[in-house]
Amino acid sequence: MSLLAGAAGGSEDVIPGPIPARVTGVIDGDTIVVRARIWLGQDVETRVRLAGADAPELNGGCEEERRLARRARDFVQALAAGGRVVLSHITYGKYAGRVVARVRVPGGEDFSEALIAAGLARPYGGGRRRSWCPE
């Protein structure tokens, strides 16, 4: 079950948040797994794609991309070390049943902005992703 439930499951569905959650896993530099309480006694676990950022892929096309991807994943693990995060602007993702959301530590740093500032992600608003491999 994902954080979003609607009859149509359309992309127009948005949960503005804030939704407190606990990080249960880090998939890569721009995808985490969270458990969130959405109702009394009702928790859901879902994958969350970090909105606004494109991180390199762990199975990328060159060693440089894979190296950066490991650094991005480790960076996100460090940000999530406290376990608690806050999700906002939650929408349906296109792939793998995940959602897309802004993720930040309570009262603090936005994961996407921190990744971009560290040079471990690029701003991303959709569309085709650029290669991380040197030309």
pLDDT for residue 112: 97
In a domain? residue 132: no
In a domain? residue 1: no
Extract the tokens encoding 21. 């959650």
In a domain? residue 62: yes
What are the tens digits of pLDDT across the range 4-61?
Answer: 444 344 556 888 889 999 999 999 999 999 999 888 889 999 999 999 999 999 998 8
pLDDT for residue 95: 67
Q: Which of 33, 12, 6 is nearest to 22 (CA)?
A: 33
Domain of residue 61: give its range.
21-123
User: Count of domains in the chain?
Assistant: 1
pLDDT for residue 12: 63
Q: pTM for the whole thing?
A: 0.85
CB 75 within 8 A of CB 118: yes
Which CATH number covers residue 116? Answer: 2.40.50.90
| Cα(50)–Cα(63) distance, integer angstroms | 23
In a domain? residue 131: no
In a domain? residue 85: yes
Per the model's pLDDT, the better-predicted residue between 6 and 75 turns out to be 75
Q: Which of 27, 4, 28, 26 is nearest to 97 (CA)?
A: 4
In a domain? residue 101: yes
In a domain? residue 69: yes
In a domain? residue 60: yes
